[in-house]
Structures are given as structure tokens and as C-alpha cells.
Copies of this chain bind each other. A is one copy, B any other.
């Protein structure tokens, strides 16, 4: 599928720094600071935030206050409140908290899946089926999304077969997922691979293909976003200040940085509804609460161009 002649007019960004970012840092951010992060991200125009994950606090103390953050985020009108869940138990907690949408990560790499959740990808598909059944039995409106991770390669096993990614995508949809996404969990994607796999995924999932989740580990994050835009993808995960490392790539940067993403989109006239100036102010706030942690992102260092025209301000 060749790329389209024009880019989408608008896209939606989900801020994942509070989850994918914070979970990989040593610092445990205080609940009040997280709440302020959510509030100011909302004020900057973000309308989808992954505020945490429902995992055992023993495993991830950084996420122990997720229920509190969810409760606060739910007070903000028109904000889609998302959490990650690793299993049925987490999904039930999310549902009880009134979360709008959960993401179940399913690694396409068998070795990564076993290292990460001690389950095979197909066992995670079974878990997804149980989660959907539980949600339906409870009559909950909570949306269930499956994020197919290590979709472009894996730091443990190396190659991941795109056919396996598409098989899991189909299996997730057949198991009742409302939407699916592809995640380059460790930053192995390149723009051509993105163009090919997202175009193929679109053919499989249609408008149930919700999310592109890129890491910038090897400097290709924004190039990958551009390639995905060209095949019509309109939902992107990103993390303020690019936080969110990878245990298999120490010292490497994490997610695509939200402020750099909004900057690129603004340059190209693609509306995200997010004010990059407010994001840069928020970045300073977040930096103060993460002393000693590595932050990424280029715009904060280089500054905005003289002729820059923000789309949202």
C-alpha cells in the first residue's frame, strides 16, 4: 500500500508518561504531583491520558496510587481515562474504578511475553477473552483494547514475524477487543516497516486499529510517526519529556516525546488540539518532580523555530 498523498487533518494523542514513563524510573512520584500532571496535561489540550496501571504494588510501587489518579482524572470533562492492566484481576479493578478504557499488552515475541508476564501470547489472548466476558457480564461500558507489543522486534529473541503480529491482532479482535494497537516496545521499528505493518494491520482491523505506540530508542520515533500518518493512522501514544526507558536497552531514551510530537504535527498542519507551549511549561514542572532522572525531547533544548505557528494556543 503506497502512502497517501495527504496526511490526516487531525490526530489524537494519548499521554502515557504517567504509566509507561514513570514505571521505568526509580523515583516514585508523589500522588499530588501526578494529579497536577494530569490536570495540566488536560489544560494543554490532551483528551486521553493513560494514568497508571493496575499491577501489584509490590512489583511496581510507582503505580500504587493508580486508583487515586483515576478518581481525580474522572472529574475532568471529556477526558478518556485509560489504564494498563496485565490480567483479569487488574481489569476488574479498573472497571470498579470507572476507568473508560483499558489496554492489555500482548507481546508478539514469545520470549518477551514469558519474561514480562510469564504467559505465552496465546495465553494472553485467553486472558483477553476472560476480561471481555467479565466486562460484558458486569454490563460495564469500559472499552477493552489489546496492545500488540514487540511488534517490530524484540530485545530478547530478535526478529518478530509480522505474520505472527497480524495473527495476534486477528485473535484479539476475534476475542472481543473493541480496538487494537501496535507497539514498538523497545524501539526497533523503522519507517518502512511501520508503513508496511500498519497498512497490513489496517486491512485486518479497519477502524478498530486504534493506536500506534513508538519508542524513540534509536532516534526513529518521529520518522515512524510520520510513516504511520502517511498510511492514515490517527492515534498516537507519547510521553512528556520522552520518559519511559526499556529494561533491555539501558541508557536509551523512551517513548516518543509528547512535546516533540505536537511540534512536528503543528509544523505539518496536523491538528492534535494540544498546546506545545503549555506542554513545555508542564515539562518543567515534571522535571522538578523527577530529580536526577534522564529526560529527553529535542524542542525543550533547541527551542521552537522563529516562524513556528502553533495550531492550538
Q: What is the interface of chain A, defined by CB distance below 8 A to chain B?
A: 1-5, 7, 153-156, 158-159, 187-188, 190-193, 216-220, 222-223, 225-227, 230, 249, 251-253, 260, 263-264, 267-269, 297-299, 301-303, 305-307
A156: B residues at CB distance < 8 A: 306
Secondary structure of the A contact surface, majority rule: loop
A216: B residues at CB distance < 8 A: 298
A188: B residues at CB distance < 8 A: 305, 307
> Out of B5, B249, B303, B306, which one reaches A2, CB within 8 Å?
B5
Minimum C-beta distance from A225 to chain B (A): 8
> Out of B5, B252, B302, which one reaches A251, CB within 8 Å?
B302
Number of copies: 2
Contact across chains for B268 and A298 when beta carbons are under 8 A apart: no
Contact across chains for B153 and A307 when beta carbons are under 8 A apart: yes
27 residue pairs A–B, Cβ–Cβ below 8 Å: A1-B5, A3-B3, A3-B5, A153-B307, A158-B306, A159-B307, A187-B302, A188-B307, A190-B267, A190-B268, A191-B268, A192-B268, A193-B268, A218-B263, A218-B298, A218-B302, A219-B298, A220-B222, A220-B267, A223-B226, A226-B226, A230-B230, A249-B302, A249-B303, A251-B301, A252-B301, A253-B302
> Out of B191, B192, B217, B222, which one reaches A219, CB within 8 Å?
B222
Known contacts: A2-B2, A226-B223. The answer to whether A252 contacts B307 by CB under 8 A is no
Minimum C-beta distance from A188 to chain B (A): 5
A298: B residues at CB distance < 8 A: 216-219, 253
Q: Which of A4, A252, A267 counts the most B-chain CB atoms under 10 A from its CB?
A: A267
Contact across chains for B268 and A219 when beta carbons are under 8 A apart: no
Contact across chains for B226 and A302 when beta carbons are under 8 A apart: no
> Out of B1, B5, B264, B305, which one reaches A223, CB within 8 Å?
B264
Contact across chains for B252 and A302 when beta carbons are under 8 A apart: yes
